């Protein structure tokens, strides 16, 4: 069965009677006119559908907890939607924790992850009674132990390990290989468990956590990861007599950015994970564990698009033709960071017949500010609207104010209606934290 992560566009995408692109029942040209560009648009139906697809895919294994990886895109409104669909949250910063708390999310359904959590962030997590903290290193164990004593609270933890698995993705988003900045090496697990058992009276070890990377198109790596986690979990039970029964296998399922991408469906991944659990538990004669999944990109990416307005054009003699838009690397840094590729279409007057190969450039003062190279598009004119698909994940969340530009607005589209869920920044927002010392006045 094909799932939403295998689509290039939101599931509500159509060409309407005006010959314009429409998403969530909303004309994208009208959205650009009403809200300005660049503009992030989230299709609520696609977001809810893929949450439901995850739950359906793992229905056979009821001991499953879904934790949306907030780093992909964290806003108050989207957190409410995702929580309504029965998901918890994987967070990696105090800012994400505060966003969820302020949105009224049950903090027992939150897991705090990250390789160098600050004392203040860990203290916030303890004070808010976060459900799980995934401990990444010995330094963090010591900090958390001090906090449990200070607040006289028990804290449930997982140990994050590096399983030694390399997946075929960009090296910057591999996290499970041996030479990784994340987690305890497999050879350090005994030392970590001994430290907890002998020194940490209020740290409750519940299980193990691993994450092997992002934008993963393979299935075997999940089988191997589960096997490693269950083996290590069983070793801890047998060697230390500790009742650990949880494994967190992270997320990382890929999405279809372009027609060249062929990610597995959510059902293919679930079959692999469940098969591995059954095979490994049978081999080791052990009980089925509680599992945690942390999908992020595959939840939100396809639901999001970004709209830009076409500005200047430049034809290089005997070279490329450049089409400039009013956004770029500040609202989508992924092409310059990861050489990420996107599918792009013109949103207005869609069915034009004449086309040409162009390169879409951003507005920023960097030669590397290129959104997409050598793409076949209709003959474009100034003020045309371009729609970049699959921009829900890691676009707004990695955006910046480079060149002192204001971050775009974000709207939620559903059944022909839109709601602002992030306001467009103003120049006053940009200078809000600037301070001129009195001696310079």
Q: Is residue 50 part of a domain?
A: yes
Do 189 and 338 fall within a single domain? Answer: no
Examine the residue annotation and report whether 281 is marked as an active-site residue of this protein: no
| Residue 440 within a domain | no
User: Per-residue b/e over 289-321, b at no fewer than 16 CB within 10 Å?
Assistant: bbbbbbbbbbbbbbbbbbbbbbeeeeeeeeeee
Distance CA 87, CA 45 (A): 16
Among candidate residues 256, 278, 300, the one where a domain is terminated:
300
Query: What's the DSSP call for residue 202?
Result: T
**Shared domain check, 33 and 49:** no
The number of domains in the chain is 2
**CATH number reported for the structural domain that contains residue 116 in this entry:** 3.20.20.10
- My answer on whether 61 and 25 are in the same domain is no
Domain C-terminal end among 300, 321, 343: 300
Q: State the DSSP H helix or E strand holding residue 154, giving kind and residue range, or none if neither.
A: none
So what's the pLDDT on residue 174?
43
Whether 234 and 102 share a structural domain: yes
**Positive or negative CA dihedral for 338, 339, 345, 347?**
positive
Residue 438 within any structural domain of the chain? no
The reply to whether 437 falls in a domain is no
Q: Give a yes or no: residue 333 inside a domain.
A: yes
- Same domain, yes or no: 329 and 278: no
Let me know if residue 149 belongs to a domain.
yes
Considering the domain architecture, whether residues 190 and 326 belong to the same structural domain is answered as no
Full-model pTM: 0.95
Q: 253 and 195 in one domain?
A: yes
CATH at 327: 2.40.37.10
Choose one of 233, 268, 300: the last residue of a domain.
300
436 within a domain of the structure (yes/no): no
Same-domain pairing of 281 and 323: no
Containing domain of residue 279, as a range? 44-300
Determine contact, residues 345/305, Cβ cutoff 8 Å.
Answer: no
Question: Which H helix or E strand runs over 336?
Answer: helix 334-338
> According to the model, what pLDDT value does residue 180 have?
65
Q: Do 265 and 194 reside in the same domain of the chain?
A: yes
| 183 and 82 within one domain | yes
My answer on whether omega of the bond before 19 falls inside 30° of 0, hence cis, is no
Per-residue pLDDT of the chain (441 residues; tens, 9 = 90+): 799 999 999 999 999 999 999 999 999 999 999 999 999 999 999 999 999 999 999 999 999 999 999 999 999 999 999 999 999 999 999 999 999 999 999 999 999 999 899 999 999 999 999 999 999 999 999 999 999 999 999 999 999 999 988 655 434 434 444 556 778 999 999 999 999 999 999 999 999 999 998 899 999 999 999 999 999 999 999 999 999 999 999 999 999 999 999 999 999 999 999 999 999 999 999 999 999 999 999 999 999 999 999 999 999 999 999 999 999 999 999 999 989 999 999 999 999 988 999 999 999 999 999 999 999 999 999 999 999 999 999 999 999 999 999 999 999 999 999 999 999 999 999 999 999 999 999
Question: Catalytic pick from 51, 167, 200, 365?
Answer: 365
Residues 353 and 265 in one domain: no
Indicate if 77 and 207 belong to the same structural domain: yes
Q: Is residue 225 part of a domain?
A: yes
Q: If DSSP codes are grouped into helix, strand and coil, which group holds residue 273?
A: helix
- Choose among 355, 351, 353: nearest CA to 380: 355
């Amino acid at each position: 069965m094909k799932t939403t992560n295998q689509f290039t566009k939101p599931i509500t995408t159509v060409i309407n009677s005006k010959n314009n692109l429409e998403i969530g029942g909303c004309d994208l040209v009208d959205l650009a006119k009403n809200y300005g560009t660049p503009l992030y648009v989230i299709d609520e139906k696609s977001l809810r559908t893929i949450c439901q697809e995850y739950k359906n895919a793992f229905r056979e294994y009821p001991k499953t907890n879904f934790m949306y990886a907030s780093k992909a895109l964290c806003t108050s409104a989207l957190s409410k939607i995702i929580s309504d669909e029965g998901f918890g949250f994987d967070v990696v910063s105090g800012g994400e924790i505060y966003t969820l708390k302020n949105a009224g999310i049950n903090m027992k359904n939150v897991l705090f992850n990250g390789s160098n959590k600050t004392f203040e962030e860990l203290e916030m997590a303890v004070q808010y009674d976060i459900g799980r903290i995934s401990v990444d290193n010995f330094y963090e164990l010591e900090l958390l132990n001090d906090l449990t004593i200070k607040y006289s609270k028990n804290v449930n933890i997982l140990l994050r390990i590096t399983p030694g698995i390399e997946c075929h993705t960009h090296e910057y988003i591999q996290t499970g290989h041996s030479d990784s900045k994340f987690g305890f090496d497999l050879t350090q697990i005994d030392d970590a468990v001994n430290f907890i058992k002998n020194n940490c009276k209020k740290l409750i070890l519940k299980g193990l956590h691993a994450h092997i990377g992002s934008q993963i198109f393979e299935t075997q790596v999940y089988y191997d990861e589960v096997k490693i986690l269950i083996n290590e979990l069983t070793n801890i039970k047998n060697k230390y007599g500790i009742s650990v029964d949880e494994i967190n296998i992270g997320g990382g399922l890929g999405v279809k950015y372009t027609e060249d991408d062929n990610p597995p469906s959510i059902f293919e991944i679930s079959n692999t994970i469940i098969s591995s659990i059954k095979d490994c538990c049978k081999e080791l004669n052990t009980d089925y564990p509680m599992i945690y999944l942390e999908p992020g990109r595959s939840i939100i990416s396809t639901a999001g698009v970004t709209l830009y307005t076409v500005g200047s054009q430049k034809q290089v003699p005997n070279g490329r033709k450049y089409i400039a838009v009013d956004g770029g690397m500040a609202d989508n840094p992924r092409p310059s960071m990861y050489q990420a590729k996107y599918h792009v279409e013109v949103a207005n007057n869609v069915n034009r017949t004449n086309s040409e190969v162009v390169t879409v450039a951003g507005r920023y003062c960097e030669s590397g500010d290129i959104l997409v190279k050598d793409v076949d598009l209709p003959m474009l004119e100034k003020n045309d609207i371009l729609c970049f698909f699959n921009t829900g994940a890691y676009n707004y969340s990695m955006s910046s104010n480079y060149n002192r530009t204001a971050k775009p607005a974000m709207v939620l589209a559903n059944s022909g209606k839109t709601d602002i869920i992030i306001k467009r920044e103003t120049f006053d927002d940009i200078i809000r934290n600037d301070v001129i010392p009195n001696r310079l006045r």
